Structure 1
């Protein structure tokens, strides 16, 4: 056989298309819609429902629970910080807090239920401790500290997280509830503006903490 003769052409290698890169999920810290919306709605509805149960019990007891709010600088009543947002002066007081709690609380679950409980704990304790240290004398009750905390959390978290979507949502939230922020200033007698103020500060603290933890998590992923 002639070694210089023609050889059959080489069989071409099959062309395999490169797999498309998986679409990355939006980081939890930058979400505006809860990842599990039904669970989020159930949790927030359950909490607001608990407030109505407590108010019903208080009504049966003739309003005796209203004296168990935060009493500033009274060391014998420090533990009232743990449950004062569950207490309300009457049904009107409760209803005024329930609607914004449902809306703002649901939006605050956008990074998941675990983070929602963490944010709620920060706002709850910041508001309660602030009132205990600096509040005017009397029994401070009501979930309005949580309302102001969730409101401010939603307003500033996009700045800390550098999220355009969250900032856009904050504009909408501010347009609806922004006027309520005047409640952090002294106003009508019998209204715990201190609870509003320190609840709002708790919202800022929670937003900063969420963004800080997200950055730490992102750095740890890159270093892995």
Structure 2
């Protein structure tokens, strides 16, 4: 099944405004979380706990600490701006699909710990950008896919277990949700 969402050019100022809203929300949540002694961290995804299912939409906006947030902002900004080349509607649909499907994957298969952070979105955007350009058959988007694969292909190692404090599950299921998004949205032409 393909979702026929037309691609319309998004002016840079609008891209920055929408991405800025997303990033500002993350920063504000981090400030509140820091000032409340990390009280919001309990809204991360705790796998297989029924009460944690409703935490899925919040998990990408929460971070373990300021360093965790700052380390994610650059990649999220870069991949977000590249994703806007697929259109504004796709940016938000991919963001929502990755958050929900990736979060459900973490909830179902993750290790018993709180999972949070925008790396779920980063890997979801990465998966989408890697595949959608190839499926679109549009030169600009194809070049983005090739460039992402060449420059950031090493990110694929992040879907493997490495450090115990890193949620490779969020990386893995975010990436898979991004690929899924590309399959259902990537072929619709502008």
Give the alignment's TM-score, normalised by structure 1. 0.78
Describe the superposition over 1:93-137 as per-residue Cα deviations: whole angstroms up to 9, x where unpaired: 001111111110111112322221111111111110000000000
Of the three residues 22, 30, 54, the one matched with 2:29 is 54
Where has structure 1 moved over 4 Å in runs of 4 or more? none
Check if 1:68 corresponds to 2:73: no
Check if 1:106 corresponds to 2:81: yes
Structure 1 SS opposite 2:112: coil
Give the alignment's TM-score, normalised by structure 2. 0.91
Alignment root-mean-square deviation, CA: 1.8
Contiguous gaps of at least 5 residues in structure 1: 1-26, 219-224
- Give the Å deviation of 1:28: 5.1
Contact 1:44 1:102 survives alignment (8 Å): yes
The match for 1:11 is none
Contiguous gaps of at least 5 residues in structure 2: none
Q: Give the count of matched residue pairs.
A: 186
**Cα distance in 1, alignment partners of residues 30 and 84 from structure 2:** 25
Q: Which has a greater percent of helix? A: 2
| Larger-Rg structure | 1
Bigger RCO (CA 8 Å, 6+ sep): 2
Contact 1:126 1:202 survives alignment (8 Å): yes
